[in-house]
Amino acid sequence: MTPRRCVSVITVTYQSRSHIDACLNSVLSTAGDWLADGVVVDNASADGSADHVRATWPWALVIQNDRNLGYGRAMNQAAGRTTGEYLLIMNPDVVLRPGAVEELAGFLDHRPEAAACGPMLLSPEGEFRFESRRKFPTPWNSLGYFLGLSRLFPDSRLLGEYHSRWLSPDLEVVTDSLSGSCMMVRKDAFLKIGGFDEDYFLFGEDIDLCWKLKQAGQEIWYVPAAVVAHAKGASMKHDRPRARLEFYRSMRIFIDKRLVGRYPRPLIWAMRLGVGMAAALSGKYRR
């Protein structure tokens, strides 16, 4: 495939100096010919992330916030400053494998019905990350997820639907949701639906974005020919109690925004109760 400069890379840093070099180096080394521009939004890091990117990666525009605005809001800041046809949304602890950007951009080029596509996510040790492709939360798959039943019964279409563990990681498939750690989205589709919902702070905004794209009649695809490594949780380790709080808060936001009215009230109450119990049992949740 002939490269063309159609991809804008955007990432949000928070205490990410130890990871951002590997991330941005992988962009240049594997996808330089596809790169239209890049934007790094720093959410008030105290480790010099913003100054380091300015000095080391001059091709990237740096937006430095004076406080932590959250992931979705910062990503929206970045999207508004890009010129590419496609947005490559990346976490700073993601490293692209060769050909990943070409596969994702090529997929969107040849499938106009698709608004977004995502790669196969691997751990640094090479293990498949099931959040590479997910179903939208429902009362039943949420029960399976929060109680760990999806791991005990991975072939259950009822309890294991959220991660669909019975599907081969090598199967290219239409899906409900991708991981915000790395996905490629058509910029016009992203802007048309208003980008990320800024009510979410750290989690859930990726699922919500895909929900809005699907509601707009767009397709979401998992493309395993594109492979990236995701260290996962690099920024969260600096404030794990806050991260856990935001994880469970985001689930409640999604339930209230997207599921109320779609399911009977007792099932919604059960979902809220399940999220609350899971939060309490985590031992880290603070009101």
- CA-closest candidate to residue 101, choices 175, 36, 176: 36
Task: Give 231-242 pLDDT, tens digit per residue.
Answer: 976 655 556 777
Task: Give 125-141 pLDDT, tens digit per residue.
Answer: 999 999 999 999 998 88
Given the candidates 3.90.550.10, 3.20.10.10, 3.40.630.10, 3.40.30.10, the CATH classification of the domain at 7-134+175-234 is: 3.90.550.10
Instruction: Give the range among 106-110, 162-166, 167-171 with minimum mean pLDDT.
Output: 162-166
Report whether 139 contacts 267 (CB < 8 A).
yes
State percent of the chain over pLDDT 90: 76
Distance of alpha carbon 240 from alpha carbon 243, whole angstroms: 5
In this prediction, residue 124 carries a pLDDT of 93
pTM of the model as a whole: 0.92
Distance of alpha carbon 268 from alpha carbon 252, whole angstroms: 10
Terminal CA-CA length for the chain: 52
